[in-house]
Amino acid sequence: MVREFEWKAVVGDKVDFAEKLSSPPSWRSHSARSWFKSYPSTMKPDIEDPQKPDQFTSSSDLNDGFVLRGTLTRFIHINMNVENVRMTYIVKRREYRKRPATVPENDTTFEHSYVDTLLDLRLPEDGDRALTDKAMNPSIQAKLYEEIKATVSDDHDEITEEDTQKMPYLKAVILEGLRKHPLGHFALPHKAAEDMDVGGYLIPKGATVNFMVSEMGRDEREWENPMQFMPERFLPGGDGEGVDMTGSKRIRMMPFGVGRRMCAGINTAMLHLEYFVANMVREFEWKAVVGDKVDFAEKLSSPPSWRSHSARSWCSGASIKRAFNQWLMLLLAFLVALFILLSLRKCGGRSRVPPGPLAVPVLGNLLWLSHSSADLEPLLRRLIAVYGPVVSLRVGSHLSIFVADRRVAHAALVERGAALADRPEVTRALLGENGNTISRGNYGPTWRLLRRNLVAETLHPSRARAAFAPARSWARRALVDGLVGGGAVLADAFRHAMFCLLVLMCFGEWLDEAAVRAIGDAQHGWLLHYATKMKVFAFCPAVTKHIFRGRIQTSLALRRRQKELFMPLISARRERKNQLAERAVPEKETTTFEHSYVDTLLDIKLPEDGGDRALTDDEMVRLCSEFLDAGTDTMSTTLQWIMAELVKNPSIQSKLHDEIKSKTSDDHDEITEEDTQKMPYLKAVILEGLRKHPPGHFALPHKAAEDMEVGGYLIPKGATVNFMVAEMGRDEKEWENPMEFMPERFLPGGDGEGVDVTGSKGIRMMPFGVGRRICAGLNTAMLHLEYFVANMVREFEWREIAGEEVDFAEKLEFTTVMAKPLRAQLYHPNTLAGQRDGARAHQQWLHDILLQDVRDPTLPHVDPGVLLALGMAIPELGDSGDGIEPCILCQRVRDDLERLGELPDALPTLMDNLAILTGVLLLPLLVFLRDVTSRRRRRLPPGPPAVPLFGNLLWLRHSAAELEPLLLKLFDKYGPVVTLRIGWRLSIFVADRHLAHAALVGAGATLADRPRTATSMLLGVSENHHALQLRRHVAAAPPQPRTLQQSRVDQFTPARVWARRVLMEKLRETTSGVSGGGGDAPPNVTEAFQHAVFCLLLLMCFGERLHEHAVRDIEDAERAWLLYISKKTSVFFFLPWITKHLFRGRLEAGHALLRRQKELFVPLIEARREYKKLASQGLPPARETTFQHSYVDTLLDVKIPEEGNRSLTDGEIVTLCSEFLNAGTDTTSTGLQWIMAELVKNPAVQEKLHAEINATCGDDGELLERSVRDKDNKMPYLNPVVMEGLRKHPPSHTLLPHKAAEDIDVGGYLIPKGATVNFMVAEIGRDEREWEKPMEFIPERFLAGGDGDGVDVTGSREIRMMPFGAGRRICAGLNVGVMHLEYFVGSMVMEFEWKEVAGDEVEFAEKLEFTTAMAKPLLVFLKL
């Protein structure tokens, strides 16, 4: 391979040496399905016989049937047939050996094989019997290439095995690869045949002994730099010279095992490895892909097994989860009953523990059944009113104590501070972390050393003021620029400025925007995962660590990502320190600061038994992550609250501005830290903001190191103690009018004069915590708040937006933020030249800060501080008591948690199973009620037997993917109208054209609604899009033409021409190799169809011709959303009140996809909003790619009359835009694929169509577009071709479902109110009673005299085909869809001759995806 190719890393894709444990691939091909198809019919298992009770009729049985029995049956059948296949070839080999020693039977037969040796083998232990059938790096690359080139001449086609024996460096490369990356990290296990002593240890008879191959090959005591890839180590003089890979003399590496069970194929394996590596390096140069670094992270992977895809999904999917949940539910029910009994017998105990509501052992307080953790703060207020200022709550078996009294807090945190200096810990051990951090580390010498380093070396006032003054000035300019530039949300500008400042303080580098964003993304991923996925470990971690080990692996992967980003920055600081220590002058970098937090970490020495040691890289990464998290969100949240109060209280803002003006001169660019020290009113404003709006309403929890008594209450050892910061700062007994914003209270004579914010003398407010774990950054935080508030008040005048008052409602996130984010008008005073009579003239201009809250304010949210208060410590969120306050890195984490809705309680697994238990207990009652009500419905269409609540029993044997063939069988049995039940939902399927017309046209108003899906309700997606009003805006007639009306469609002619050009270019690209004779594989043209149609619809939707990468981003987002809807949401059709708990991860994924849509769509919507504003003022658009009209323009004009003529929200516009894109992309591209496939299969039809197009338009694409658009009837054959394609291959075989608004009678059948009605489009278009030879492609049927002449595709007169639906909910884009199909089909036939690929016939088998697509995608030969 090295001889044949030069091997280089793909540009942007660095070689990844991450390891993955994998077993060998099995006998099967791509899947069990492809294996099954590849069998001769005589060898297939007879699993389709319905008379055999132990067999399933489809792969879905493994998911939905009797899981254990069905899987065992399928396993036996598959294994039997695997053996049959193997035996076929073994028998052939036996026959071959019996032949005379002549020429082989055919060219594919070799003289020797492994089977031959097995046939000759005799087992001496068993009478010499024969075996039964059943027992059978770039510089390194360059160096290797040079060796190959020197050994093998260029006239050789390949490197032979003899050539490789002359290449010592090649062998060294292979050995180094096997040493560093052995295929299996464990040797196959050995079994002890008797008791034996090894190294002083007893290995008993029968024990399994495993040998860790990778650890031996990477042993630092045996190998120099074992984690580096150094083939030279196996050359003379290296530490691996002469290594014995068989291990007979000494074991240093054992990739093939050692001893009697050593791999029999060791020599052959080495031969093959040398042969292929050499030829690949010779043939290619291998390079990393640009921007895609090779990742050597390892992953343990299982091999492909005997099972089919469905069997895999059974083994790892919902069936095992369901079975496990059932067993777990029964176990929990038993434990609950047992512990309730024990609790009733128990008396006495800890009677002095603070009071609280009723609690049950293991489960905790019963109130968690009716309250979520999002309700914790209002719930605690009610409990405090009942039980007093100290309350106990139990979350599972964990005791949490909440303190709202300032005196008790002082006694606990100051007087008994040492006993409460620890933190509760849940996941630290699971992640393999040693706790050497400031926020989560337990109190002790190491913690004191780390905190002392942070306070003295980085956050000390002298250091913070002098060293980081340029950093603050830079962050201030970034903040001002963001506000002037009209940032989307004020909070975003605050947050970004704070994060940039902290990154600079941490790493001492002015990083570019991309690097800052990358670090932000890493922190975002970690925080989001920890807050949403790791809470399960608060309950029975000894069990949940096994059940949810995947979450632990994800956490470790996220930590690795942080390390990848941080370590280059840390290494850069280490190198700089080394240069300074050597008195060498480091390269002068304008982006480098003299001091950083990392510098101090590099100097730390931790005292340990073996002597002082430096921090490890992992420890430094965690400390840096903690530093970044510490102040970002607390600072930005506090800034937002303070500025909101100044907006709401203009007199306070004016007074503060006057103080600033009096203390500084106008010739200064900014207010410095020294200036703020002369402003007492500024400090009072900051303190009042922290008192009334502390960023965290709870201090991070403390853990009692011993039993202790505080305020007459016993706090037992191990209990979590939480302090309610907001309640103390708003205590009416301590503060006058505490809910009013009165900075004067902190001036001389006020009730807050001289308040001690550290709480050492007494606690009246504690926004930074109190005691030994008080925030280490208290002084720095005050410095930053004073600096930024003063400069923002000096820079702008902050005012309320007219008609939009500041709302001080709170919302719990990672901090306590404004439920309605701050929106304000900012006025910038600009000094004019000259002064007249001592009075300054001021010119003001208004800066509208376009604040768009794309978040859903109706969803509840959870403060991580609350989760921490319940004993679920979240790392890196900081501490309001130990130096790092709870925070979040970026707005996107907030948005993510918002979209997830209410976070589950602290016992998710328990609550899920309780929900199941409740459902099981209610089942008999529901079945009884269902039976009673079902007796009334005698006239329903017939259907198979159904069980109330669960639906039809056939779902135990059939999956949704088999619905259409199943319905065809049911139609044969019950008639053209069939009833099915999916869970409790009644669905009626209609396959008769007359009944479809009676329902959709005759009773159209009654069937004009859509059923609302459980998914939309669970995701909070509004499906009530006011269809009539919105449809009118899509397809209205003059004088107000809308997007799909003909006169408006004409305006999109340039868009269609552009999309045609995109399509032609894609087809030429994909066919260049084939048409040019290059021998490439025939192209799959489906992607070209989809991309061109999507580009056209995207332009029509947003009126912008976007760049390729922007189109791909939106296309990927829409594809992911459709895939999610089709693959992941079907589980919610059945018992959604239970499945929403069991599959909440899928709901979280749905929210994330919806957020992604908003991220991509809202900027485009804003651009159209700005475009309309410019157009109304008679100004030209800002960009040349802007079209005069778009679908979004019409949505911005929509007013909903049912809701006070309100405009559509951004969320509704995003949903409608997504609907617009999805409605046409797959349907049109699927229609194109089917039509072109028919033209390939029917060359006479294609030739006739080409002749018509050529005679009418020649090669003029614009003339073709105009002819299609104007319907000039110059190409009468083109429309029949498209119509015949839509008849035979409608993109969707069923219409979108309709919902009955009331009981109706159709064809003598009752369709009850609320039932879902579905219409079988394909069956109606292929009805043999209506169409002659319906399964043949005959476009002539739509010409004069054909059986389709004059067919009404709208179905208003009668229904014979309905690819676009019929009645009131007929597709609004019918005419546009047909026009686009005609235009693209005509263009492709004009441009290319479409032919079948030799030996690869077009197949018309169907596959259900988003639409009904070709099971085998269309592969063609295109000839220009």
Q: What is the residue whose two structure tokens read 């409605």? A: 1223
Amino acid identity at 787: Y
Give dist(CA 57, CA 70) in Å, integer. 10
Helix (H, G, I), strand (E, B) or coil at 69: helix
Residue 1214 burial (CB count, 10 A): 22
Alpha helices in 1076-1209 (DSSP H): 1086-1102, 1108-1128, 1136-1142, 1144-1176, 1191-1197
- Closest listed residue to residue 1289, CA positions, set 1231, 1248, 1236, 1352: 1231
- Greatest C-alpha distance within the chain: 124
DSSP run (H or E) holding 9: strand 9-13
Phi first, then psi, for residue 353 (nearest 5°) are -65, 140
Question: CA gyration radius for the chain?
Answer: 37
> Residue with structure tokens 């020197």?
150
Query: Could you give the CA distance from residue 645 to residue 1139 in angstroms, rounded to a whole number?
Result: 44
Could you give the C-alpha distances from 1135 to 323, 444, 823, 920, 921, in angstroms and in order?
16, 51, 42, 12, 14
Tell me which residue of 10, 22, 566 sits closest to 299, measured CA to CA.
Answer: 22
* Burial environment of residue 848 by CB neighbours within 10 A (0 to 12, 13 to 18, 19 or more): exposed
Q: Are 1127 and 1086 in contact (CB under 8 A)?
A: no
Which tokens go with 324? Answer: 């496990």
CA dihedral for 577, 579, 584, 588, sign (positive or negative): negative
Q: Which of 1304, 1289, 1354, 1283 is nearest to 995 (CA)?
A: 1304
Structure-block tokens of residue 896:
């993510």
Q: Are strands 846-848 and 946-947 parallel, antiparallel or unpaired?
A: unpaired
893 with 492: CB under 8 angstroms?
Answer: no
Helix (H) and strand (E) counts in the chain: 47, 39
b/e per residue 578-610 (b: at least 16 CB within 10 A): eeeeeeeeeeeeeebbebbbbbbbbebebeeee
Q: Measured between alpha carbons, how far is 1030 from 428 in angstroms, rounded to an integer?
A: 53
Alpha-carbon distances, residue 642 vs 663, 762, 817 (angstroms)? 21, 25, 12
Helix (H, G, I), strand (E, B) or coil at 526: helix
For Cα atoms 103, 109, 114, give the angle at the middle one, nearest 5 degrees: 120
Question: How large is the angle between the packed helices 1243-1257 and 1278-1288, nearest 10 degrees?
Answer: 140
In this structure, the strands spanning 1316-1319 and 985-990 are parallel
Interhelix angle 891-899/1144-1176, rounded to 10 degrees, is: 120
Length of the chain: 1424
Give the span between the Cα atoms of 1135 and 951, in whole angstroms: 11
Q: Which amino acid is at 990?
A: V
CB-CB contact of 630 with 459 (8 Å):
no
The reply, when asked if residue 775 is annotated as ligand binding, is yes
Contacts with 243 (C-beta within 8 Å, 6 or more apart), sequence order: 175, 234, 252, 253
Q: Which residues are annotated as a binding site?
A: 775
- Residues contributing to the annotated binding site for heme: 775
